[in-house]
A and B are shown apart, each in its own frame.
Chain A
Amino acid sequence: MIEWIDLILLGMLALTALRVIFLKDLFAVVMLFGIYSFLSALVFIVLDAVDVAFTEAAVGAGISTVLMLGTLALTGRTEKENTHSKLLPILVVSVTGAALIYGTLDMPPFGNPDNPIHQHVAPRYIEDSPKEVGLPNMVTSVLASYRGFDTLGETVVVFSAAIGVLALLGIRREEDNNTPESGFKEHRVLQIVAKITIPLVILFALYVQFHGDFGPGGGFQAGVIAAAAFILYGLVFGLAKSMAVISPMFLRYMAASGVLLYAGVGLFSMMQGGNFLDYNLLASDPVAGQHYGILIIELGVGITVFAVMLTIFYAFASQTERSNIQ
């Protein structure tokens, strides 16, 4: 049954991707890309990767779509007529695709429990992590504890992306209040509903942040969801009001402090005489130490991701508002 659902979803994905090729209207391309992200998140659920589906739904479909729409508002909506010859790309793509499909024939069959990938590291995580780390969600255990150093690197990458966007675009603050009021003037219903929804969303983000050890979720997802709440506020009430709630400068400090909190846990465990990010020494009981460590570093990840996503949104939105005024 699940295999059939998987097949249908993959078929819909293939059709969506094919449709994207032939569309000249870039707005429609971005809409279909949102659908593509949603569909791939569904495929992730069917393939048992609930944490990944969570992240893809929030990040891929939410943030990417908003950013792409912001870019389209600046760069125009239609793609010009293609002057390239279509033949060479088709040739390159079919040769590469044929090579890859030939390569898959040597891969072990899909879903077989005896595949080599399931024999090596994974059994250790599956069998020992509930005892060693004491968390039911193995993905969180591996992400935050066994591969904590890796995740620190990823957090730094996200942080540096914010630096990159700020270096390229910067955030214009509206100094004078004479700029036309942005936001939806005539969409009164939307404003009121947004006011009702935003607290619920922030509450849900906190739940995802702190329940991520037991169910799907964690710092990455919670950060994005909290950022989505403020993005909703900024979209409905205008950028100036949103910046009055959380200023861009404060976000920069937040982004940095999240990374520092993460690295600080590592340094603290070194001072206790252990290795970098060795949570066993954070408390007298190793399992309790693991709990503290994971809770704190997930918080650091959540703070950084929240601040980075909101900073990127501010940068894009201030570009669109500026060009709109001109």
Chain B
Amino acid sequence: MDLTTFLIQCLNSVQYGLLLFLVASGLTLIFGIMGVINLAHGSFYMVGAYMAFTLASLTGSFALALLLGLVLAVVFGYLLEWVFFSFLYEREHLQQVLMTYGLILVFEELRSLIVGDDVHGVAVPAWLAGGVPIGHDMSYPVYRLFISAVCLAVALGMYLLLKKTRLGMTIRAGSVNREMVQSLGVNITLLYRLVFAGGVALAVLAGMIAAPVSSVYPGMGAQVLIICFVVVVIGGIGSVKGALVAALLIGFVDTFGKVFWQQAAGALVYLLMAAILLWRPEGLFKPSQS
């Protein structure tokens, strides 16, 4: 493997890591910060991809589809929390597991009813369609660089919101002791609903942004679910910085694993998680260091 290939593989690793962080960002908020074990996260990602497909074909422009999709996602998340989650916070974690599993089945079937079972593609918008030539007469798709940019923006946005603003502080306090924050006069139920809607919006955004690259097909949600939990857990539950570092780590391990150790490539990510959790049973970063 000469240097150019090595550098390209590193770029691939970073890009895949950032994409993983974007896809897992919604879960970092809902599972990491709010402590809700949300198995339906993959379904929200799938909803995002199908929303990008339908809205892009309706409005004809990808950017418009994104905006419209985000608004719909926030409303969708708001209603979802109100109907299905508002009474679950005091319940045992396992009740959330059961509820969100039920949601997976419902969303999968609704998708089949509404949009059907065919495989669809979403065209990359024209101004992002080109490729940047890099070594080995290969070219790097500009759209993937755009995705990485979006990922960094989301990472920075989440980090600043949660660490540097009063709202972020209240959210983090709420996740540690919900009753205390309520007694301080904060309308915690509304705050939780908004944070949940934000988490759903992030998952839908990830689905929409990734759609042109990942394409849109039945069962795509289930495939990203486990890797998102791996990212959040390795990083340390509740830590945004941890999720980013974990996503990049997985990006490198997955990319170079496929090249050097094909035989075990499938198991490498889980080997990594097992190793990290045995070395630091609470993940890489404590929430306080997030």
Query: Is the pairing of A and B real?
Result: no
> Which B residues are within 8 Å of any A CB, using their own CB?
none
**Chain A residues at the B interface, C-beta cutoff of 8 Å:** none
